[in-house]
Amino acid sequence: MNIQSAVIKGTNILKNSYIKTAQLDTEILMAKVLSSNREYIVLNNLKDLSDNNLEYFKRLIKERAKRKPIAYLLNKKFFWDSEFYVNENTLIPRPDTEVLIEEILRLTKYKNKLNILDIGVGSGCILLTILKERKNFIGTGIDISKKSLDICKINAKNFDLNERTKFYKSDIDKFTLGKYDLIISNPPYIKSCDLKYLEREIVNYEPILALDGGLDGLSQVRKVISKSSELIKKNGKFILEIGFDQKNKVIKLLNKKGFYINNTLKDLANNDRCIVSTKI
Ligand code: GLN
């Protein structure tokens, strides 16, 4: 079978599974099979596929039809200005989280040698992006998931950041090491009862541990705030990603723990997504 016929078949299979980006996804998966890019596919669409490649392509299409996210099929996701290695043990970096990056870069433009802590570091997309942009900062990432930390370490190595990073497998409750100028966190903040309403791509494939915020969605947020108030230096900044309906509740929690609210930020869909505060 040639590339074009396989792409048409693959697209139809994904369309029948109601995947909106059927053709795009099919082309991306074909590019993966051929270790090339989408341009190559268009220019070489009459070339025959080897049996092995056809089998590999069918397998990927089948998984995508079951809604496995493209990022997990490719083992990579573009975030800010770089590609991050990902697999099913870590949350896929979200474009909404880039709002935090923009703000942190703005806040740290003239800063020197900051010591950063990322709580629930996941793939490392926030911490490592900041360290790439701010060459004299150092960072610590903690995560309760050992498998997720392994992914983060791969990314740190790929970006040549080993020397400026430390990673610890730890529950936030138990972590007591160091004092930080800047703390960042994108904790799990979805209410347990709302998990079932998430897209199938998310709920069936992404780690529940990275999403489930307990009964009211704030069980991890509370812990992160409380611990951050101990680990942060006076006047240190705390940048927290939140759920779209959590702003007021989280502001109260922050105030109670001695944080002054600087500002809140909206994501690309105009939902409240981030709170910036300072420890006083
Ligand atoms: N923003 C993510 C989502 O929509 C949730 C991330 C989180 O819980 N921290 O699925």
Tens-digit pLDDT profile for residues 2-37: 999 999 999 999 999 999 999 999 999 999 999 999
Ligand 1 centroid distance, CA of 98 (Å): 13
Mean of the per-residue pLDDT values of the chain: 97
Q: Residues of the chain with pLDDT > 70: what percent?
A: 100
CB 62 within 8 A of CB 33: no
Q: What is the pLDDT of residues 214-237, one digit of tens each?
A: 999 999 999 999 999 999 999 999
Ligand 1 centroid distance, CA of 248 (Å): 18
Q: Report the residue among 189, 224, 273 best suited for mutation to probe ligand 1: largest number of ligand atoms under 8 A from its CB.
A: 189
- For residues 60-67, give the mean pLDDT: 98
Give the closest residue (by CA) to ligand 1 atom 9.
Answer: 188
Q: Report the residue among 77, 90, 91 best suited for mutation to probe ligand 1: largest number of ligand atoms under 8 A from its CB.
A: 91
Q: What HEC string does 101-154 produce? A: HHHHHHHCCCCCCCEEEEECCCCCHHHHHHHHHCCCCEEEEEECCHHHHHHHHH
Distances 41 to 2, 58, 86, 118, 204 between C-alpha atoms, Å: 10, 16, 25, 40, 30
Domains and CATH numbers, the chain: 3-66 (1.10.8), 77-279 (3.40.50.150)
